[in-house]
Amino acid sequence: MLADTRAMIEDNPSTVTITRKTWTHAGGKRTSSSRTLSAQTARLYNTKGDLEYIPDDGRFLRRRGVKMLCYHDADVLGHTNTNEDTFTLDGRTYLVKTVNKLTWNGVTVSKQCYLEEQ
């Protein structure tokens, strides 16, 4: 399965450099810091997205989603109250919303991330 992940990523690879912003709470104050992680290879791809009802028009609109497939050991975290991973690719900035570890027989073989274009 690791070989399958590698083949899928290498079919259309992108190099992403994530900027990680973290917040900490100490003494009643919230402070933030950010750092740039090492470049990582991943694959971005479009999904069908979710249907959204537009009440003013009385119709549904399908918003395309963007996902990212990463290697099992990728340094990427989903968005939380204390963490925010972002990166820019081809002039577009993305926020990593969620990270799902894909496993096979209890072994993580890849990470699939849902992205939000900023």
Return the pLDDT at 3.
84
Q: Can you say whether the dihedral through the CA atoms of 59, 118, 39, 106 is positive or negative? A: negative
Edge-first strand listing for the sheet containing 92-104: 14-16, 40-54, 59-71, 107-117, 92-104, 83-89, 19-26, 29-36
CA-nearest of 12, 2, 107 to 67 is: 12
pTM of the model: 0.83
The alpha-carbon radius of gyration of the chain (Å, integer) is: 17
What CATH number matches the domain at 2-117, 2.40.50, 2.60.40, 2.40.10, 1.10.1200?
2.40.10
1 vs 45, more confident: 45
Read off the pLDDT of residues 20-54 as tens digits, 9 standing for 90 and up: 999 998 888 889 999 999 999 999 998 876 667 77
